[in-house]
Structure 1
Amino acid sequence: MNEPVSCAPWWRYPLVWLVIAGPVAVMLASAVTVWLALRTPEVLVSEDYYREGIEINRRLADKKLMPAHAGRNHAATPADDVPLPKRVTP
């Protein structure tokens, strides 16, 4: 007739380890993320954000830093001969 099936302990089944590995990997990754976040905090907004914005606008107004579509043919042109970018009027 039917013989009794011998059951191995749970740790002998590879599928059990595969199921356990997912949550363990997520916990390790989240611990590393928390450790990195606490070790190197990022300052998002500086105290003088307005002045920095003005400086960025001044740098972008420089003829050498004009958008590619406005200055695409002036890569080898001397800086004094580069035309000013055209202003778009709404």
Structure 2
Amino acid sequence: MSSIQTQRISSGPWWKYGHMWLVVGGPAVVVVASFITLYLAVTRPDPVYADAPRGVQVQPADENDPALTPAMQGRNHAASPASAKALAGTAPARQPGHP
């Protein structure tokens, strides 16, 4: 007679393992959350936004207004191709004390 006996080990049902709940539970939570999001999107649509009431004409800003000078200079500087060419050949300045 053989001294080695084979034993049958029962692993038990899958729902008794915690790591299996992580594998199945994560996607299940995402599916439930997507249905909740779909319900909220269908039942509560966003209101339509209107910039100005009908009949009211909005005047464009005057480009000569002194309050807009910094914005106009920044816009013109960013749109200027000459400044990009001039900066392309220059190296950034080093600050004292920094290698």
Question: Between Structure 1 and Structure 2, which shows a larger proportion of helix residues?
Answer: 1
TM-score (norm 2): 0.46
TM-score (norm 1): 0.49
User: Which protein shows a greater Rg?
Assistant: 2
Select the structure with the greater relative contact order (CA < 8 A; seq sep ≥ 6).
1
